[in-house]
Structure 1
Amino acid sequence: MPLLPGAEPFRHDGGEVGVLVCHGFTGSPQSVRPWANYLAERGLTVSLPLLPGHGTRWQDMAITGWQDWYAEVDRELWRLRERCSRVFVCGLSMGGALTLRLAARHGAAVSGVVLVNPANKVHGLAARTLPVMRHLVRTTKGIASDIAKPGIEETGYDRVPLHAAHSFRGFLRKLDTELPQVTQPLLLMRSPQDHVVPPADSARILSRVSSLDVTERLLEKSYHVATLDHDAETIFEETHAFISRLVGSPAAASHG
């Protein structure tokens, strides 16, 4: 199955500091590729995987679940650990949720966490009916391209497969119980005006994690896919500054 434009995974071999970047639910690497590029251009080793079932057509996603998506980012984390002395994990939306689980489960293997509009719950009345509705209706309308900046589109599905949404909901409920295991330094950036993930999700995450080093930034000019929006440069700069502070500037120590 051919990939959608920009949906291919991305890897860059740089210095001793590695960064894993995770895209969101029904999205693709395209939505976070500028973030990955920015970090790669500054000498970091970067991995941006394509999650299973994403980046092609929604029918492919309908036969995948959270275990598949998590397994992919878990593999990439260990690939980075094999060649890097420190690894940071970043994620947008569901990518933020995957990031938090990596941090909760792998402890010191993750040096820090960067979240942009992270998801904590599948919202709305429809969420409660997913266990039944997924057997009756295959899809609902898509959530891609919640972007304030004119002329910018996210490469993602125009339909959400309900089997996948049901799996995602189960994953978020599981993750919520694991959040207290997150102890790493954490940078959370969120858009007050987000039509996909409400501010309550970020508030819930911040209230549940055990991290002592926590920074929150507001992305006032952007919607959900802030990595392609007006505040994108702020996200990139803040991420690099966060990593640099934790590893000692510059963030990209030479490899070897």
Structure 2
Amino acid sequence: MSIAYTGSDLSQTTATLLESELALFEKEYKKNFTPAESKPKSIGTPYFLHSPLSETGVLLIHGLMAAPEEVREWAVFFHKKGLTVYAPRLSGHGTSSADLSVRTYKDWIDSVDRGHAILRTCCKKIVVAGFSTGAGLALQSVILKPDAFEAVIAVSAPFKFKSFSSNFAEILNGFNQLCESINMAKHAKKFVTNHADNPHINYLRCPVSAFVQVKSLMRKVRRSLKNIRIPALVIQAKEDPKVAPESGPAIFKLLGSDKKHFSWIDHNLHGIVRGDIGNEVFKEVESFLEACCLVDTLN
């Protein structure tokens, strides 16, 4: 199996890095494969859509409990507009929820950093975009590397969750750790049910520890949003049942950029980057990129 990519004229460096990511996925998929849970490999495989004539690339980051397939339609949209796209696989994703349970947000940032390194081999300009936890990682990537990106797009970033279980994740995670330390692991509740928008892609149970990691990530993001100075687009569904809708306006308000835009999407599901509703999101994204003078790459 080779890395999933569209296009030609890849440099040896780009090809080598892509193959390295595939090899890592293959290794982790084999190690963590769970018959009743793991999705087909095609769901978790990172992919690269190359536009040889473009100098601009998009680093496109999926959400928690998902996989690169989650942002496939968004990636195709970018690619049809003439942009190169790389969708990395976040550590612990595309394999099993047990694998995710031992990962940290720093592992996810490492996954994103490797994706950025791939795009740097073939693109002079890079836009970072993400959905849900991927949006939080996109924002954190700009905070950590303020000169590395031309613009940032954050869709449904989880400043605040709505579910009861996520609000008490730290307490439950502490209880789980206590159970482990006193040899009473059977009493721990390490996973909660995930009512997935895309069950063919998402894990159907979420590690409590993963909620803790997302909340830790977003606390770091919150403290440094004022330092983001590049053009930024924030999008939020009005009736998001998983992420509190006020998350979007809160992020927008704290951003330090003079070139920022906020858009509401009138929808009652969390997943807004697939299907018909995704087309509404993509229209907002296209308008934003045009306003950022990246229109020359959008043929």
Normalising by structure 2, we get a TM-score of: 0.77
1:102-117 equivalences under 5 Å are 102-117=141-156
Tell whether 2:45 aligns with 1:8. Answer: yes
Q: Amino acid of the residue matched to residue 71 of structure 2?
A: V
* Residues 229, 12 of structure 1: alpha-carbon distance in 2 compared, 3 angstrom cutoff: closer
Q: Does the residue aligned with 1:54 lie in a helix, a strand or coil?
A: coil
User: What are the superposed Cα offsets for residues 198-255 of structure 1, whole Å, 9 maximum, x if unpaired?
Assistant: 11211221122101111111111352110114321122232233223324423258xx
Q: Amino acid of the residue matched to residue 45 of structure 2?
A: E
Distance 1:143 1:25 in 2: 13
Distance 2:216 2:133 in 1: 12
Determine the structure 2 residue equivalent to 1:120.
Answer: 159
- Unaligned stretches of 5+ residues in structure 1: 146-151
Determine the structure 2 residue equivalent to 1:73.
Answer: 112
Determine the structure 2 residue equivalent to 1:62.
Answer: 101
- Unaligned stretches of 5+ residues in structure 2: 1-28, 178-187
Normalising by structure 1, we get a TM-score of: 0.89
RMSD: 2.0
Instruction: Please identify runs of 4+ aligned residues in structure 1 that moved more than 3 A.
Output: 121-125
User: What are the superposed Cα offsets for residues 67-108 of structure 1, whole Å, 9 maximum, x if unpaired?
Assistant: 111111122123212321211011110000000011112112
Contact 2:66 2:202 (8 Å CA) reproduced = yes
Contact 1:191 1:223 (8 Å CA) reproduced = yes
Q: Does the residue aligned with 1:230 lie in a helix, a strand or coil?
A: helix
Q: Which has the higher contact order (CA 8 A, sep 6+)?
A: 1
Contact 2:155 2:235 (8 Å CA) reproduced = yes
Q: Percent identity?
A: 26
Determine the structure 2 residue equivalent to 1:194.
Answer: 240
Contact 2:161 2:242 (8 Å CA) reproduced = no
State how many pairs are aligned: 247
Tell whether 2:192 aligns with 1:140. Answer: yes
Contact 1:86 1:110 (8 Å CA) reproduced = yes
Distance 2:115 2:99 in 1: 21
Q: Amino acid of the residue matched to residue 168 of structure 1?
A: V
Q: Amino acid of the residue matched to residue 11 of structure 1?
A: F
